[in-house]
Structure 1
């Protein structure tokens, strides 16, 4: 039986785009094309089709369904700009594979697929529809199957729906009844309304009893007898009758459309030279290698080389008695270290070569040299596993070998010492791309063009230590091998981009410092948190009672739907905004209601805030502490594109600063007995950076004269000559920092609670007060438009996507990103450089430890008798390690037995 595959192009390309968002060359994003290619190759491998067709969607405005219902798909977000630019490439890719493309005005890809599938089925051809869209399940028949993307179990790529029973298991109804199901429940993603308050569970109850919409509407009087179908719901069904039948119509695939059908045109075949050229432009080196692609010129050159070599061989045979001198390309051999003797042999070889890449896993380490890959098992639990003593690994890492790795901190935090941390590929890639939190698979793909499936795609949920050593070892060795092969190229790029100092003298040196901070941790008082949690519980109960008293009934406060019903239906409060699922109850809406004087909104906001504090910090932090009641956060060098450090597991940089609750949480962070917490933070570091970079005379003079900058700004924007009030200073402070973060009049108006007109005027007065700041912003944006990137004071580089976009919103966002990166990134670099200088002085001291970094603040735990000494030393280092030309950096010192006292 012949077999055809029909591609739902939108479904495949969206999935590919979001799975590989950061794949790009210097000139264009490539992730969607790369993912689409791999999916296409997987489809061909899985189904071995005789015929392939690809169906594209058309503009929503041209759809016939939009004529029937103007809201149809109206809530859909526009195609991301980075995906839009890749669509022509995907079309080109399909051409290279010889795949027929279909696009019909007025009709969606679903209709095209449906019409083609039925015609192919009628000709006795088995059809597999590749999609993620459950609507297409209505097409299933004896010859038509649905292959759902990414829904397969275990290592299966697709979940195949072949029979009515498969569809019933997936959706609860037979294929023929799917439109009736969507007639009742609607489809928010497509803007199909359905009937109010009917979900799948209730819809299935009715359809199982009455089969279709006609049956349901013929038996309205009996519906309330069904489980879960109350009289209020029956009323909705009755009132929404027209919407139900319209929704069914919208959800029904139109099979009677003018699609040109010719199975011969659906035959396919790769045009290798065209595909080679496409992949070469997109830098898909791995795919070129995988498919063994060559362009026509290469084929010709290879033939000429073969003839020339044959001629040379004949000459050599006469000169060397018939023996041909050959250069043999040596592939690396994979070896599993199973004995101490093998380990010693590997170690000697590594010492001789002087450089090795290593990758640390949960139960062993892989190591790559020029001619061999090794895997060293340490804690495998597989039957018959031969593990190597940890002490041997310690010997390896303490040798003079220059080590290359990906995320050295993983090795350090497992208790190993590394003598020669030479090159961290993760850090280098981040410095070159400003792409954050990328996995090793993404980094290696970007550098080699090869595909590196993540662990779960290969092994599923299997624990690494339970895997056969050979399988896990191969997984690890492939990655350490690629680390070895790419690091020199990355090293050269670092030099080319003039970031040698940032990489070697800042980022690489910071690895050891952050590892020490993570291992040291910071102490907490669990009993304090327990008592504070009880206090919050009492407050939450009080807030609940107040809310239920106003609403005159109890309801689920965590349900936006129930809350909306209470606020806008029962209490008849005027709504603020509406979403596709009903009235919104988000923070902005509740704040608007609170400002209108609605007390219930104030209580709900307080309830949400305290609930989040309790669950995220007060209850969670003690559970994450070790047996000594110390918390060990993870500092991420690649967590923020500006170069700032971020914190996770737990995030200690996100604890609220200004609120009383935030201060109370900080009170639970304590010093050990006999110690004091010493907190030293920069005074307005980003504003000082702004003054230095802009050269604005008023800003520089304000700092040189020791004036209060927020006070100075308040006098200008409020046009006053008398003393500035506390509230005016606070507003001016927000304006000062808003300039750095590129806030629009709309954003500033929301934060200050003023009109956009006033916000616009404040910004105008600010720039009149500090004219060189505006010039700096314009210069940064102009340079970014011309080069595509920005650089900090110390040379950190970041590409700015969208800086030349024609989309106004994207352009404004890119402008803000450009300015913010230069200022915040410079401040981040200062903190990192200063941390290194401080570590030089205190790194080996027993009476002080660096515990935390929170943006512009450093926190230390110091012996009581040493506080004064170190306070003076660190303050001096923070103020004088980095010397600007026009502005002096200043640091504030605080101390206490807990973090709240040290603020």
Structure 2
């Protein structure tokens, strides 16, 4: 039996790992790329069971021999992210723990090293698998060499294996030996290989099929018109770019004779468990330590790999199709103290430590029609499982229940009143992760690599899969939730975040669910008429733009617009992008300021078009039969702790513009009801005053002074007898809020339309007036530099990437983010705490519902005759739920028949 070797393209693996795990870090260093790398390495060992492993690293671009041939080779590639660069020494350390040989040769890329190693091993009769993301490496295959492409597998495979020329042709269209010729023609944008202009695979492949290689093509260049799609213009490009084509081919050839010193024995490997344990302790990979049994150093590589794959192994599985099945399930659950549950629109998966269970929801499903917000449950037969049966079980279950995205369960009719933990929220609290995916916490906290849906099932829709097949796939997730529960709980407790989860985030779930289910009513006729009004305004602007351009063109095409502005009208270009001259908002604002009327019309055209497409046309399409809109509130949608809104996003409707007000007029109260809006007055500035302890700021709020006028007096150095003008107050207001968002003199100058020196003087005068604000901000930044995260007034954390970056721009951005996170995050938690108190008061009340939360604003729908019954108590709760010791929280209340009237 042949010996087997795996060769690792380290750059490909670590880049993929980095972007999949960007929020993973300890107090002192980022760790996501390392974590992803170890998981990939373990899956590679499990998949291929190699006898030998080697790892190839890239070197700096400047040292490459290819750069001598073509100075722009890979020049367009952005530098590796700083946080990834910081992790490379740890990845090297990790490979050393596995005793895996590392190769890095000046002048040569990792591909060249891999090619040389692979050919040498093949010559010795060793079967080789090169693990990479680079399709170019397919050119090195032979009877012993295979290329395993990361993340490209189909039908359940983790890798796409290129074994022979048939595979290469299926993947790239040409056999392996023609790959350099192919890239000589088409180039490779990722490597900066230019190729011939306007030739892609569809034109290159037929040429190579007919004439073999570049030499053959150029020997027959005047006969190329015989090939369909090849015209004279393309032949002209080939002739003009002849030297470029041959150079591009040279760049694409993998070197297979890199000067390397190695032997088979040097490629053997094995885990040094003690070293790995020490490394994992430093990196705080507690779950991996536990899963790999590293506290006991007697475990072998194979035993460790098997432990980490426990979730993916075959387990006791039951499909719950009817009440008889469910009786058996309930009996089995009697003695359990922990179960997990996960909802999808196709079915509900559940797990205990002993077994997995699946309730299908479609295709003759247990629960009949798919249970959703707007679909009533219809049982299929007397023996079919009903939603009431499931809810009765959860009501009587005495153990702990955990899930991922509890709100999804509640919205779809499954009532779980005693949920111990929503792991979506718990993981967000420790990681600042904003992407909703059950796989992320499981893979990161347990080290398990779950089956990827596309890799396992391809393009097949879930509803078309066999119930048992889909059920087992989903139960991997519920078992995974159980596996990561203890370590997640331990981490929450160690970081003092359990209180925020239990007292804020978990109670908020049922409140948001009730708000989403209730929805807010709209007037479809109003939106229709406003849409027509906007269409006329857009058409008028379109005509003005065409008149200025003296021709009609596609205004929405940046390319066509650029040609009109900068070539036909000869307006001065402001900035360039990779694809040409920019026509973004910043450019248009500059052109407008310089007197270009067409820029003014285009800006207005874009604004109205966006409003019409995003809100006025889109919102009515989302209404239910009662003309109510059901937005989704996302608890993990932001890194600061603010709620976000989607489908539709009601938090992004412009607040102060006439158009924004008009959109809000389309959101109305139900019959015999009104809308009541209550918002906090300057809550973020009040948070700043409380937390920074500045006496001038606190005094302003304690004495109910106009903070913006007070700031204006100091900034503009006004005497006591001088009036503050409206313009001065507006500037002061902008500066007050700019401080929260960390605006620089450059940013403030841009917003106010003043020079940078003047803006800098305003900021200096602000800090002279409120001296402790600067101390406070510096304290936040120093804390974040030391710990890698910020903390709000209530202890919520946010991981801040780049706070210790050597790149000044990245570091400054991270500093602004840190300050803003503390202030905005604290304000967001105040609103959440208030919502919880309000819900406790309102949940049994009639004639009133909380409909929306838009940052510091709450919208209620109240029956007209009950407004005064509830208003006073609601206002009291908003003022007193959170009480600062020296800054009062003030509110504004407005009542109207539509949303616009509540502002």
Cα 1:541–1:516, aligned 2, differ >3 Å: closer, same or farther?
Answer: same
1:816 maps to which residue?
Answer: 816
1:431 and 2:432 correspond? no
Deviation at 1:102, TM superposition (A): 1.7
Q: 1:617 to 1:645 in 2, by over 3 A?
A: same
Going from structure 1 to structure 2, the CA distance change for 1:235 and 1:747 (only over 3 Å counts) comes to farther
Equivalent residue for 2:638, pick from 633, 637, 640: 640
Output one character per residue of 1:727-747: Cα deviation in whole Å (capped at 9) or x when no partner.
443333222112111122233
Deviates more, 1:331-340 or 1:740-749: 331-340
Q: Which residue of 1 aligns with 2:607?
A: 609
Greater alpha carbon shift after TM alignment, 704-713 vs 633-642? 704-713
SS in structure 1 at match of 2:190:
helix
Q: How does 1:236-275 map to 2 (within 5 A)?
A: 246-255=247-256, 257-260=258-261, 262-271=263-272, 274-275=275-276
Residues 18-40 of structure 1 show CA distances to partners (whole Å, capped at 9, x for unaligned) of 12333445654433233333333
Could you tell me which residue of structure 2 aligns to residue 359 of structure 1?
A: 342
Deviates more, 1:874-883 or 1:382-391: 382-391
Secondary structure class of the residue paired with 1:129: strand
Distance change in 2, residues 1:849/1:176 (3 Å): same
The residue number in structure 2 matching 1:307 is none
Take 1:668 and 1:291, find their aligned partners in 2: how far apart are those partners? 58
Aligned to 1:317: none
Query: Is 1:893 the counterpart of 2:893 in the alignment?
Result: yes
Aligned in 2, Cα 1:774/1:888: closer, same or farther, shift over 3 Å? same
Match of 2:363 among 381, 388, 393: 381
Whether the aligned pair in 1 keeps the contact of 2:634 and 2:646 (CA below 8 Å) is: yes
Determine the C-alpha separation between the residues in 2 that align with 1:38 and 1:356. 26
Match of residue 508 from structure 1:
506
Task: Please give the TM-score of this superposition, normalised by the length of structure 1.
Answer: 0.86
How many Å separate the matches in 1 of 2:13 and 2:470? 30
Aligned to 2:777: 777
Deviation track 1:621-648 (CA, whole Å, cap 9, x = no partner) reads 2222222221111112222222211112
Q: Determine if the alignment matches structure 1 residue 397 to structure 2 residue 394.
A: yes
Partner Cα separation in structure 1 for residue 110 and residue 540 of structure 2: 54
Report the equivalent of 1:765: 765
Question: How far, CA to CA, are the matches of 1:384 and 1:672 in structure 2?
Answer: 36
**What is the distance in 2 between the residues matched to 1:384 and 1:855?**
40
**1:477 Cα deviation after fit:** 4.7
CA–CA distance in structure 2, aligned partners of residues 104 and 350 of structure 1: 59
- TM-superposed CA distance for 1:103, in Å, is 1.0
User: How do residues 533-552 of structure 1 correspond to structure 2 at under 5 angstroms?
Assistant: 533-552=531-550
Post-superposition Cα deviations, 1:586-619, rounded to whole Å, max 9, x if no partner, equal: 3333333333333444344334333333332222
Distance in 2 of aligned mates of 1:605 and 1:186? 38
Shift of 1:413: 0.7
1:578 matches 2:561? no
- The 1:42–1:586 alpha-carbon spacing in structure 2 relative to 1, beyond 3 Å, is same
Q: Deviations over 1:679-725 (max 9, x none)?
A: 11111100011111112222222223333322332343344554444
- Report what 2:628 is aligned to: 630
Report the 3-state secondary structure (helix = DSSP H, G, I; strand = E; otherwise coil) of the residue aligned with 1:516. Answer: helix
Alignment deviations for residues 338-377 of structure 1 (CA, whole Å, 9 cap, x no partner): 66466456547756767654433445545556x7445252
In the alignment, is the contact (CA less than 8 A) between 1:378 and 1:390 conserved in 2? Answer: no
Q: Distance in 2 between matches of 1:770 and 1:575?
A: 41
Question: CA 1:419–1:121 in 2, change beyond 3 Å: closer, same or farther?
Answer: closer
SS of residue in 2 equivalent to 1:101: strand
Conservation of the 8 A alpha-carbon contact between 1:335 and 1:372: no
Q: 1:760–1:355: structure 2 CA closer, same or farther, 3 Å change rule? A: same
Contact 1:24 1:446 in 2 (8 A): no
Question: CA 1:5–1:571 in structure 2 vs 1: closer, same or farther (change >3 Å)?
Answer: farther
| C-alpha separation in 2, matches of 1:692 and 1:547 | 50
Structure 1 distance, partners of 2:288, 2:742, is 42
Rounded to whole Å, the distance in 1 between the matches of 2:602 and 2:223 is 40
Deviations 1:636-684 (A, max 9, x none): 2222222211112222112222333322322222222222221111111
Task: Deviation per CA, 1:809-852: give whole Å up to 9, x if none.
Answer: 34323322221122111111110111122222222222111000
| Match of residue 409 from structure 1 | 407
Q: Note the alpha carbon deviations across 1:248-306, whole angstroms, 9 max, x for none.
A: 4444434454334645544445555545554565565666677676755789xx9xxxx
1:192-271 alignment runs, 5 A limit: 192-194=193-195, 201=202, 246-255=247-256, 257-260=258-261, 262-271=263-272
TM-score of the pair, normalised by structure 2: 0.86
| Equivalence for 1:518 | 516
Assess, with a 3 A threshold, how the Cα gap between structure 1 residues 708 and 31 changes in structure 2: closer, same or farther.
same
Q: Deviations over 1:176-199 (max 9, x none)?
A: 554455455544433344556665
**Aligned residue pair count:** 872
Conserved in 1, the CA contact under 8 Å of 2:287 and 2:487?
Answer: no
Q: Which moved more, 1:197-206 or 1:685-694?
A: 197-206
Superposed displacement of residue 389, structure 1? 2.6
1:22 aligns with 2:4: no
In structure 2, the residue matched to 1:151 is 152
Q: Residues of 2 paired with 1:197 and 1:755: CA distance?
A: 46
Q: In the aligned structure 1, how far is the partner of 2:229 from the partner of 2:546?
A: 25
The answer to whether structure 1 residue 86 and structure 2 residue 83 are counterparts is no
Match of 2:712 in 1: 714
Q: Would the alpha carbon gap of residues 723 and 168 (structure 1) be closer, same or farther in structure 2, given more than 3 Å must change? A: farther
- On the 8 A contact 1:517/1:850 being kept in 2, the answer is yes
CA contact (8 A) 2:183 2:252 kept: yes
d(CA) in 2 for partners of 1:233, 1:726: 64
Contact 1:195-1:243 at 8 Å conserved across structures = yes
Q: Does 1:740 align with 2:740?
A: yes
Superposed CA offset, 1:747-769 (max 9, x none): 33333333333332222121112
Deviations 1:59-117 (A, max 9, x none): 12222333444443333222223322322232233334443322111222122233344
Label 1:750 to 1:263 Cα distance change in 2 as closer, same or farther (>3 A). Answer: farther
- Report the Cα offset of residue 459 of structure 1: 4.6
Is the partner of 1:86 in helix, strand or coil? helix
2:342–2:349 Cα contact (<8 Å) kept: yes
User: Which moves more between the two structures, 820-829 or 103-112?
Assistant: 103-112
* Alpha carbons of structure 1 residues 420 and 271: separation in structure 2 relative to 1, 3 Å: closer
Q: Which has the higher contact order (CA 8 A, sep 6+)?
A: 2
Task: Name the CA distance, whole Å, in 1 between partners of 2:199 and 2:577.
Answer: 17
Aligned twin of 2:439: 441
Q: Is the 8 A contact 1:130 1:148 kept in 2?
A: yes
Give the secondary-structure state (helix, strand or coil) at the position aligned to 2:900.
coil
Where 1:844 maps in the other structure, the secondary structure is coil
Matches within 5 A, 1:33-432: 33-49=34-50, 51-121=52-122, 127-140=128-141, 144-164=145-165, 166-173=167-174, 175-183=176-184, 185-194=186-195, 201=202, 246-255=247-256, 257-260=258-261, 262-271=263-272, 274-275=275-276, 278-279=279-280, 282=283, 296=297, 337=320, 340=323, 343-344=326-327, 347=330, 356-367=339-350, 372-373=354-355, 375=357, 377=359, 379=361, 381=363, 388-399=385-396, 401=398, 403-406=400-403, 407-432=405-430
Taking the aligned partners of 2:756 and 2:785, their CA distance within structure 1 comes to: 28
Which segment is superposed worse, 419-428 or 842-851?
419-428
Q: Is the 8 A contact 1:382 1:465 kept in 2?
A: no
Q: 1:532 aligns with which of 530, 533, 536?
A: 530
For 2:731, the equivalent position in structure 1 comes to: 731
| Residues 332-341 or 603-612, more deviating | 332-341
Kept in 2: contact 1:65–1:250 (CA 8 A): yes
761-770 or 457-466: which moved more?
A: 457-466
The runs of 5 or more residues in structure 2 that have no matched partner are 304-313, 368-382
SS in 1 for 2:892: strand
Superposition deviation, residue 770 in structure 1: 1.2
Equivalent position of 1:659 in the other structure: 657
Cα distance per residue 1:119-173 (max 9 Å; x no partner): 4555665544322223334445565543322222222223334455544544445
2:168·2:174 contact (CA, 8 Å) conserved in 1? yes
- Match runs of 1:790-869 below 5 Å: 790-869=790-869
2: distance between equivalents of 1:121 and 1:256? 13
